[in-house]
Chain A
Amino acid sequence: MAELNQVSAADFELLPNDRKRNNETIEKPSLSFAQDAWRRLKKNKGAFISLWVIVVIVAAAFISIPYANTTTTAEQNVMQQNLPPKAPGNLPGFNGKQKVDGERFDAYKRADVKKGEYHIFGTDQFGRDIFKRVLYGTRVSLQVALIAALMDLVFGVTYGMISGWKGGRVDMVMQRIVEIISSVPNLVVFVLLILIMKPGLFSIALGIALTSWTSMSRLIRAEVLSLKEQDFISAAKTLGTSPWKIGLRHLVPNVSSTIIVQLMFTIPSAIFFEALLSFIGIGIPVPMASLGTLLNDGQTAFQFYPYQLVFPALILSALMIAFNLLADGLRDAFDPRTRD
């Protein structure tokens, strides 16, 4: 108490003037839309981890081109058929041991594999290294998905913008067409296309894009319908800007978050659809391989060599989960209503 009484005016000091001035403002650093979305995405743990999972898988699939390509994945070695997974070190499950009729033995020793040679995912019935094949298959699956997403983007966005912008009769006819296309099962559209085109990377991607662009175009149309009533568009029109320029300069930037989110949902569904087609044997033709063909191979041998099924299944599932989580996260991050 005594100490308190001894406090004198000299113990206080005046705050500098400029600090006082800002006392009333509550301010966060101003962020651009992208920065804001990025900040919110980082907060979403699932989406952020997914982003890294995707980066790692995509990088691994594309950096490994010299290591795992059409020629190296086709290398067959009859002496090394169906070897179980083996990695350096003596990890359980990755030690090259196999159990047949209750007897455990080192399959690598029996097959006379050189010391220091490893197949971390094992080998298949032709002695091909499954790790290489999974890398290669992942790349093919991703390529199909990316090409499909790109076509989806170009076609779906253009169609949706024209339909929404023109309105009236044009819009009605265009929407009827979308309605008709989307009431045909996607597998049917795909099969009809495959009948006239040779199966391959491009035709499969085209088939997937043909069945998925309708949802993109619908979303874009709905946004354009409401955007075109806004003042800045009227201003652009009054100034005599051409419709194409309005589309590119004003509409596309305003629907970009919808486009990104929809693309993020298109990619996993394209990966899924490609895998499904390859799995039933009408997708990527041999000697190419995708995750779907690997799963198909694995499924025929899974009774005796489950690892041949498990590894491609794991990678495919990881990709699907990561893309879906990231898409969910992006949708929330772009949504101004979730802004804090």
Chain B
Amino acid sequence: MSGMFKYILKRIGIIFLTLIIVISATFFLMKLMPGSPLANAARLSGEQRQLIESQYGLNDPLMVQYWHYLVNALQFNFGHSFQFQDQPVSRLIAQRIGPSIQLGLQALVFGVISGIGLGAAAAVRRNTKTDTTLSILAVLGVSIPSFVFAALAQYFVGLKLGWLPIAGWEGFKFTILPTIALGMAPLATAARFIRTEMVDVMGSDYIELARAKGLSQNEIVWKHTLRNSLIPLVTLIGPMAVNLMTGSVVIEKIFAIPGIGGQFVSSILTNDYPVIMGTTIVYSMMLMVVLLVTDILYGLIDPRIRLAN
């Protein structure tokens, strides 16, 4: 277990290093930007300008400013938004992170669980019509961009058929279309993965043994094949999380969901640097935590993996 502990410590160290690099990159990029907050304040006398600059620490040497920024950022203090005066960036993010996390988790759970089901169904009935159909669907799911699917679903299901709301975020009903659109990619990825894994496992000796023991087909599929195929699926959750983050930005825009993705886009379009920086750091942090958790999980559920190595 001490190997595990050491490994986690090492990983947390890398996370901190990465965070510091991201924060430094954002700081120096911001310093590269032309213009200053006081550029238009022509009526300020030299003395007033100096007062304001010293008040905001703009006169300090670059390294001192950098140190302050770094320390503040590590405490989630990203300054105030340019666009929404008097709103701290951390509060803006905190207000909007809920829907994003909810949408991401729903899409992940929906995608992975239905993907496992479909993949298992295809593997059990392999080389039949069901298998072919599911494989084609999986290729479509992997290939068709989530936002194309979202826009089409919004038109046909939301507008033409009127089954579900077109856009907004006012209850569970509103989450269905975005969840399906965002969950399409993880669903297809999981389905393909599980199918290949299960077909692999089905050819192994211990499945032969289970069959020789006289276990029923159901028992073999559920207790032996599927269970052993699920373990490596955990490694896919990290890459899936990256895609979900990228995808949610555009899905939030299409369905007008008040999440950080939509806010991120509008902050980029309006050059709201503090919000861009804050969201950037929060995104990186979330991803690294997800990656760490899945790695630890993988080590815990598969006794063959020795994390220390």
List the interface of chain A (C-beta within 8 A of B).
Answer: 46, 176, 179-180, 183-188, 191-192, 194-196, 268, 272-273, 275-276, 279-282, 295, 298-299, 302-303, 306, 309-310, 313, 316-317, 320-321, 323-325, 328
Contact = CB atoms under 8 A, between A and B. Distances in A.
Given A302-B151, A313-B151, A325-B139, A186 B246 contact: yes
8 contacts: A183-B291, A185-B283, A196-B29, A280-B250, A302-B151, A317-B143, A320-B144, A321-B143
Nearest to B136: A46
A275 B283 contact: no
A187 B26 contact: no
A188 B152 contact: no
A281 B22 contact: no
A270 B4 CA distance: 37
Given A282-B268, A309-B155, A195 B283 contact: no
Contacts of A273: 246
Contacts, number: 112
Contacts of A276: 145, 147, 246-247, 249-250
B220 to A, nearest CB: 26
Interface of B: 14-15, 17-18, 21-22, 25-26, 29, 32-33, 139-140, 142-145, 147-148, 151-152, 154-155, 159, 242, 245-247, 249-250, 253-254, 264-265, 268-269, 276, 280, 283-284, 287-288, 291
Contacts of B144: 317, 320-321
* Residue of A180, A187, A275 most packed against chain B (CB within 10 A): A187
B22 A195 contact: no
A198 B11 CA distance: 35
A323 B155 CA distance: 26
A179 B14 contact: yes
Nearest to B146: A276
A325 B143 CA distance: 9
Contacts of B148: 295, 313, 316-317
Contacts of B246: 185-187, 273, 276
B216 to A, nearest CB: 32
B155 A306 contact: yes
Contact of B143 (A268, A295, A298, A302): A268
A74 B25 CA distance: 38
Contact of A321 (B18, B26, B139): B139
B27 to A, nearest CB: 11
A299 B145 contact: no
B139 A279 contact: no
A195 B29 contact: yes
Given A185-B245, A323-B143, 10 more contacts: A46-B139, A185-B283, A191-B276, A192-B29, A195-B33, A273-B246, A279-B147, A282-B269, A303-B159, A324-B142
A178 to B, nearest CB: 12
B49 to A, nearest CB: 26
B31 to A, nearest CB: 11
A282 B265 CA distance: 8
B26 A302 contact: no
Task: State the 3 A-B residue pairs at the shortest beta-carbon distance, nearest first.
Answer: A320-B143, A321-B143, A324-B143
Nearest to B247: A276
Contacts of B265: 280-282
A295 B151 contact: yes
B145 A184 contact: no
Contact of A324 (B32, B139, B155, B159): B139
A1 to B, nearest CB: 48
A195 B26 CA distance: 10
A93 B22 CA distance: 51
Contacts of A194: 268
Nearest to A325: B139
Nearest to B248: A187
A281 B269 contact: yes
B192 to A, nearest CB: 10
A309 B253 CA distance: 16
Given A275-B145, A295-B147, A302-B151, A180 B21 contact: yes
A273 B250 CA distance: 11
B268 A184 contact: no
B250 A185 contact: no
A297 to B, nearest CB: 11
B261 to A, nearest CB: 9
A313 B283 CA distance: 29
Nearest to A314: B148
Contact of B22 (A188, A299, A323): A188
Contacts of A295: 147-148, 151
